[in-house]
Amino acid sequence: MLRIAVQSKGRLYDETMLLLEEAGIKLNRGKRILLLSAKGFPVEVLFLRDDDIPQSVANGVADVGIVGENEYVEKGAEAKLTKRLGFSKCRLSLAIPKDEEYGGIEWFEGKTIATSYPEILTDYLDRRHVKANLHIISGSVEIAPGIGLADAIFDLVSSGSTLVSNRLKEVDVVMNSEALLIANNELSEEKQAILDELLFRFEAIQAAEGKKYVLLNAPKDKLNEIIEILPGMKSPTITPLADDKWVSVQSVITEQHFWEIIGKLKASGAEGILIIPIEKMIV
């Protein structure tokens, strides 16, 4: 049995649960809200505050955990970074009042900075030989300058709109963050085997992300031109049709270049183009 710690509610919750579900981990909804076992896979899920996940994994209360990189680095917990999961992306940045002139990191010398990430910030300022006072608060950091509690803030930013509405501007990105899968340093062989299977499933899900399966009919005399347009996994599958002047072509395309590719295919004489979502991809 592998115990996975996940955030009980908040910004990581939805995508974490979706990822687990796509990996075939269906939870037995029971009365015990803190700990749920999965159906058909030897995993149980422990719901915690994100702040507690790195430590729980380090001390073995949980075997693995899904947590933001910001929390993992801040807590300095002795747990292995096993996989970057690519969601809940944000950055930890220094921000100052919008009308201040900013010439560089020296601006912060002697200033008071409000933050919930004192470890990461202290380390960053020390390396740049800047001495500042930290005001440690756990929520609503962005209002601190406006109410005179601090000169600046060091906090998570994603769209930047919270900064704008508090008349602040981002002046230095200290680190980027995304959700991580972290693991205890001393997993038993049995737990490691379950984790390996889980990683295999996560990779299949990630590989399929942003990819579509395309099926189309191509006139044989245009086949080479059409194959050139389709960047398949290896090469496209080609099957004959009842009309021997035509063939069916199947391949995988990325969403990024989707409309561009479809436009070129049509212009090259492809017909009956079908686009199908891909759920998992084992490469």
Cβ atoms 104, 214 nearer than 8 A: no
Q: Residue 11 interacts with Zn ion (CB under 5 A)?
A: no
Q: Residue 74 interacts with ligand PRT (CB under 6 A)?
A: no
Using CB under 5 A, which residues numbered 33 to 92 contact Zn ion? Answer: 50-51
Q: Specify the DSSP class assigned to residue 173.
A: E
- Give the separation between CA 252 and CA 101, rounded to whole angstroms: 50
Cβ atoms 175, 120 nearer than 8 A: yes
If you compute the radius of gyration of the chain from its CA atoms, what whole number of angstroms results? 25
Using CB under 5 A, which residues numbered 147 to 186 contact Zn ion? Answer: none
Of 10-18, 27-35, 198-206, 221-229, which part binds ligand PRT (CB under 6 A)? 10-18
Of 151-159, 181-189, 227-235, 251-259, which part binds ligand PRT (CB under 6 A)? 151-159
Of 75-83, 106-114, 155-163, 205-213, which part binds ligand PRT (CB under 6 A)? 155-163
Q: Residue 6 interacts with ligand PRT (CB under 6 A)?
A: no
- Give the separation between CA 10 and CA 25, rounded to whole angstroms: 20
Cβ atoms 53, 3 nearer than 8 A: no
Long-range contacts of 54-57 (CB under 8 A, 24+ apart): 54/79, 54/182, 56/5, 57/5, 57/182, 57/183, 57/184
Which partner from the list Zn ion, ligand PRT, none does 177 bind, CB cut-off 5 to 8 Å by kind? ligand PRT
CB-nearer residue toward ligand PRT: 89 or 128:
89
Which partner from the list ligand PRT, Zn ion, none does 158 bind, CB cut-off 5 to 8 Å by kind? ligand PRT
CB-nearer residue toward Zn ion: 7 or 268:
7
CA 243 to chain centre: 47
Q: Residue 47 interacts with ligand PRT (CB under 6 A)?
A: no
CA 226 to chain centre: 34
Question: Hey, is 137 helix, strand or coil?
Answer: coil
Residue count of the chain: 283
Nearest to 62 by CA among 198, 191, 197: 191
Which partner from the list Zn ion, ligand PRT, none does 24 bind, CB cut-off 5 to 8 Å by kind? none
* Residue from the set 51, 197, 203, 225 that interacts with ligand PRT by CB under 6 A: 51
Which partner from the list Zn ion, ligand PRT, none does 157 bind, CB cut-off 5 to 8 Å by kind? ligand PRT
- Give the separation between CA 66 and CA 89, rounded to whole angstroms: 13
* Residue from the set 54, 65, 68, 145 that interacts with ligand PRT by CB under 6 A: 68
- Give the separation between CA 128 and CA 125, rounded to whole angstroms: 5
Which partner from the list ligand PRT, Zn ion, none does 12 bind, CB cut-off 5 to 8 Å by kind? ligand PRT
Residue ranges that bind ligand PRT, judged by CB under 6 A: 7, 10-12, 49-51, 68, 70-71, 88, 90, 142, 155-162, 177
Residue ranges that bind Zn ion, judged by CB under 5 A: 50-51
